[in-house]
Amino acid sequence: MGAEKVKVVFIGGYGRSGSTLLDRVLGQHKGFCSIGELRYLWERGLLENRLCGCGDPVAQCSLWTSVLEEVFSECDEKPKFEEIAALQKAVDRIRYIPLMIWPNLRRKTFNDILEKYLNLLYKVYLSIKKVTGCEVIVDSSKDPSHGFILSLMKEIDLRIVHLVRDSRAVAHSWQRKKRNWEIKDRIAYMRTLHPLESALMWETSNILMEFLAHRIDYYVKVRYEDLIKNPKGTISWLLRELGLHTRDLDYISDSMVNLSRQTHNISGNPSKFAKGEVQLRLDREWITALPLRYKALVTIVTFPLLYRYGYFSRWEG
């Protein structure tokens, strides 16, 4: 008898594209469990003890405490999260994607580390399923390397949502100084990026996500702008494309979502703490706030995919 299958919806793409919002919206769906960015559980969640989406530090969160107890139930020694974080970093990187695609390129050392990490990751997903009783786990880790790792796991029934957003809006978001509210013990701010770096990473991440699409059966590309303009229709279509049920979407209206169900998101932006009814509005500030030179730079660098995704020279709104 084979290992128990775990159904995972992976939201991939580039940062500041709305993945936290989509994760939380899907987390309201019957039988779904929203966990945020699982790849950061060890470093940001446990070593830095940042806040979970429930408002408690991850190390004190009732759900994650139960999950970790299940994961390490057969271990005699206390888990060393520093070593696990190092294990994750040793394989979960964009530069290692070729090794995931072509196994013959792997050295035995890398292969052993990868197998060890895959086994641990499966235990985490399986423990989440057991503790929550959910049918589907929503993981918004975003990074394509995490998606490629999931594609190697036969025990994971993988469904991928490739979330894209206008690269100019993304570049503007990366420039803005934002408080990081998941860090409780001091005032800290989220990372900022120069528009050129943001544009190059946006292009790279989305190309890799398109490459990943050829390795799995269930893949759907969603534009953030379409999600905001038509949330219920977009979510319903997304679920159908992924082969998942579309019942009970009453928590979504034409311009609002009800985020009343508690979720336990790792990492993500401040919207992970939002509760109750949330009005959806498209942030078009970048059109006037992003300097023309940066707007032109980002447009030139990302034009092929902007065109492919239907954005053309400006947002079609």
pLDDT tens digits, the chain, 317 residues: what are they? 578 999 999 999 999 999 999 999 999 999 999 999 999 999 999 999 999 999 999 999 999 999 999 999 999 899 999 999 999 999 999 999 999 999 999 999 999 999 999 999 999 999 999 999 999 999 999 999 999 999 999 999 999 999 999 999 999 999 999 999 999 889 999 999 999 999 999 999 999 999 999 999 999 999 999 999 999 999 999 999 999 999 999 999 999 999 999 999 999 999 999 999 999 999 999 999 999 999 999 999 999 999 999 998 444 54
Position 317 scores a pLDDT of 44
Residues 6 or more apart from 53 whose CB is under 8 A from it? 24, 34, 36, 262, 263, 264, 265, 266, 268, 272, 273
- DSSP codes joined into one string, 5-55: PEEEEEEEE-SSSSHHHHHHHHHTSTTEEEEE-GGGIIIIIIIS-PBPTTS
Three-point CA angle 59, 63, 66, nearest 5°:
80
Q: What is the dihedral of CA 216, 217, 221, 222, to 10 degrees?
A: -120
Nearest to 173 by CA among 265, 271, 69: 271
Closest CA to 307 of 203, 234, 170: 203
**C-alpha closest to that of 306 among 131, 135, 132, 171:** 171
Residue from 206, 147, 154, 179 nearest 17 by CA: 206
Domains along the chain with CATH numbers: 6-308 (3.40.50.300)
Please tell me the distance from the alpha carbon of residue 65 to that of residue 59, in angstroms, as a whole number: 7
Predicted confidence at residue 76, as pLDDT, reads 87
Structure tokens at 229: 């303009």
Cα separation, 289 vs 294, in Å, equals 10
pLDDT at position 143: 98
